[in-house]
Structure 1
Amino acid sequence: MTMAKRDTYTPESLLAVAVEVFNERGYDGTSMEHLSRAAGISKSSIYHHVRGKEELLRLAIRRALDGLFAILREPGACEGRAIDRLEHVTRRTAEVLMAELPYVTLLLRVRGNTDTERWAMERRREFDQQVAELLKQAAAEGDLRDDVDLRLATRLLFGMINSIVEWYRPHGSGHMDGDDVAETVVRMAFAGLRTSASA
């Protein structure tokens, strides 16, 4: 892990370092000492900007959640047939996940041990429920295959998207273009979900 230079330290760079350490060590396994060493600043400098590591966790998770919930307000998520809106949300969720990879990775790893983690899990459920509602609407409009169980389809769709955090790396050898990944997720999911009439 690279040490942040003292003269370039900002609250934003501290947050980025904290997320990296949380993802590497786990939130519970991270101390303020770990954060101060990784950031290359004193603990008192960190406390000058945040109350502690839980506030850093909340800021990081809020960034991931804000990106996801913003998708649900986009025109593509609000207008047209439910199946097309669902496809838009699926594509954009994959894109946001890759664009905000460390932050969404952290969001997906919280386990509910603190107030912030419980809040994050509740917000994640809220997002998932809104997407599940789109699946139900698409089924009601006759655009989803009737031989696919909706609860199973919802779990598989989220499982496919969320698994991206485990293998996608934006840089380095074997780098895959984010747009290609998002498009492939959509093609694979909707080839199996759409009725032939809605394809």
Structure 2
Amino acid sequence: MVANTPPPAARTRGAEPPAAGRRDSYTVESLLAVTVEVFNARGYDGTSMEDLSRAAGISKSSIYHHVRGKEELLRLAVGRALDGLFAILDEPRAVEGRPVERLEHVVRRTAEVLLAELPYVTLLLRVRGNTAAEQWALGRRRDFDHRVAELVRAAAADGDLRGDVEPRLATRLLFGMINSIVEWYHPDAEADGGTEAAERIVEAVVRLAFGGLRRTS
């Protein structure tokens, strides 16, 4: 699984923000947690360094102590999501066995990573290619999609998947279902903090992707 989600910013937990100008109040990881919240709320283009400074409760100079600027924060944030996704492709169950079994594992784990890293994946899905960091992220997303499409193609060639849906289209539809979760899932609204709901969502994704809605008996 991708690295643990950094702790929420102090402000989101109801505590006092760190004193402005204290460089040691934030690490890069905790600064990213605040940054992602602001980028998702205001949009990358609509966010200034002043906005980030105010949200983090530290001075702009303290932010520059950690990173070169806003675009580096964006690259670090979307890179975290991408690293989590690409790590799936190296897991033993993603590289061993029949292609359909490997594909099912990748689909399951993709949904799990999205739910575990929801703010970071949400940001990744919203980049549009307006900056070098966004173009880099889109390129890596295309590479990930291509590698999953190859699994779909191999599973169809083995006769384990229906062959009347073009693999690239099937891949887009799979990711369309998974990626839509970021638009409606809110773990804070769940009584258990989202743990059980996340498990139900993952299972539903796998069942719909590999079994469909039609009853077989």
AA in 2 matched with 1:127 = F
Give a deviation string over 1:57-113, Cα, whole Å, max 9, x none.
011011001100000000110000000100000000000000000101111100000
Partner of 2:92: 75
AA in 2 matched with 1:4 = P
AA in 2 matched with 1:182 = V
TM-score, structure 1 normalization: 0.92
TM-score, structure 2 normalization: 0.84
Q: What's the offset of the Cα at 1:172?
A: 1.9
Partner of 2:17: 4
Partner of 1:184: 204
Structure 1 range deviating more: 148-157 or 22-31? 148-157
AA in 2 matched with 1:5 = P
Separation of aligned partners in 2, 1:181 and 1:173: 13
SS at match of 1:105: helix
Distance 1:4 1:76, change over 3 A: farther
AA in 1 matched with 2:18 = K
Given candidates 162, 165, 174, the residue that maps to 1:148 is 165
1:93 and 2:110 are equivalent in the alignment: yes
Separation of aligned partners in 2, 1:185 and 1:32: 38
Give a deviation string over 1:137-177, Cα, whole Å, max 9, x none.
00111111123332321111010010011111222247552
AA in 2 matched with 1:22 = F
1:58 and 2:58 are equivalent in the alignment: no
1:26 and 2:43 are equivalent in the alignment: yes
RMSD: 1.8
Separation of aligned partners in 1, 2:190 and 2:124: 26
AA in 2 matched with 1:190 = F
SS at match of 1:64: helix
Bigger relative contact order (CA 8 A; separation at least 6): 1
Partner of 2:189: 172
Partner of 1:107: 124
Percent of residue pairs bearing the same amino acid type: 73
Separation of aligned partners in 1, 2:62 and 2:18: 13
AA in 1 matched with 2:68 = R
Residues paired across the two proteins, number: 194
Separation of aligned partners in 2, 1:152 and 1:12: 36
SS at match of 1:27: coil
Q: Structure 2: which 5+ runs fail to align?
A: 1-10
Separation of aligned partners in 1, 2:56 and 2:151: 42
Q: Structure 1: which 5+ runs fail to align?
A: none
